[in-house]
């Protein structure tokens, strides 16, 4: 048995619009956010001298296979980062990315001024969060080495690590990628 509905009914149209908005909001909440600002934060770490004006958050699905592979690669290669951190070269600019969880919201942001104590990385939050409210720019944070979502530093103007950055960069259009490459003080190979 079918239900006849007058599609010209203003109340019905408003209800449909509301349901669509609610569905979009649920989908947005189901997304994991990764800070593109972490790329810009790395610029600050290596000497751009100014805090970025905007740190856009790019939503990435929690089950994105490329992003999850990048996070896993960062975790399995963390000894490379630790070795470089222990013997830094001039102007290397070290950073780790970690997830900050606030209820149902997760946002991945960078820590700069990174130190390692043999078990955990410690540093200063270098992004303004958009989806979490339990942390802010300049806060101190710590994370087990096995739980980071990325690590990165610059060597001879080349990005080392930065696996999640590479995934996000690869998703840009050709023009966006060109603009990105012009705006950062490193080369992505």
- Sign, CA torsion 146/91/117/107: negative
Instruction: Give pLDDT, residue 185.
Output: 84
The residue extents of the domains of the chain are: 32-183
**Strands 140-144 and 57-61, how do they pair?**
unpaired
* Residue whose token pair is 């980062």: 81
CA dihedral 184, 85, 64, 26 (to 10 degrees): -80
> How many Cβ atoms sit within 10 Å of the Cβ of residue 140?
11
| Residue 178 to residue 8: CA distance in whole angstroms | 47
| Residue 160 to residue 103: CA distance in whole angstroms | 33
Q: Inform me whether the pLDDT recorded for 162 exceeds 90.
A: yes
Conformational region of residue 161, where left means phi above 0, alpha means psi within -120 to 50, and beta covers everything else: left
- pLDDT-based confidence at 151, cuts 50/70/90? very high
DSSP one-letter string for 131-188: S-SS--TT-EEEEEGGG-SEEEEEETTEEEE-HHHHHHHHTS-HHHHHHHHHHSSSB-
| Residue 152 to residue 25: CA distance in whole angstroms | 32
Predicted confidence (pLDDT) per residue in 65-88, tens digit: 999 999 999 999 999 999 999 998
Query: Rounded mean pLDDT of the chain?
Result: 78
Instruction: Compute the residue count for the chain.
Output: 189
Predicted confidence (pLDDT) per residue in 31-43, tens digit: 444 444 444 444 4
């Amino acid at each position: 048995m079918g239900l006849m509905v007058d599609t010209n009914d203003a109340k019905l149209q408003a209800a449909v619009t509301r349901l669509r908005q609610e569905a979009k909001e649920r989908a947005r909440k189901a997304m994991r956010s990764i800070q593109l600002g972490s790329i810009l934060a790395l610029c600050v770490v290596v000497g751009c001298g100014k805090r970025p004006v905007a740190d856009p958050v790019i939503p990435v699905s929690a089950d994105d296979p490329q992003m999850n592979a990048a996070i896993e690669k960062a975790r399995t290669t963390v000894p490379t980062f630790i070795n470089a951190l222990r013997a830094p070269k001039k102007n290397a600019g070290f950073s780790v990315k970690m997830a900050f969880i606030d209820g149902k919201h997760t946002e991945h942001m960078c820590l700069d001024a990174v130190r390692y104590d043999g078990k955990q990385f410690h540093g200063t939050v270098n992004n303004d969060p958009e989806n979490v409210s339990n942390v802010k720019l300049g806060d101190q944070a710590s994370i087990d080495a096995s739980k980071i979502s990325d690590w990165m530093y610059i060597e001879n103007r080349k990005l080392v690590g930065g696996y999640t950055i590479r995934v996000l960069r690869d998703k840009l259009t050709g023009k966006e990628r060109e603009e990105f490459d012009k705006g950062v003080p490193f080369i992505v190979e």
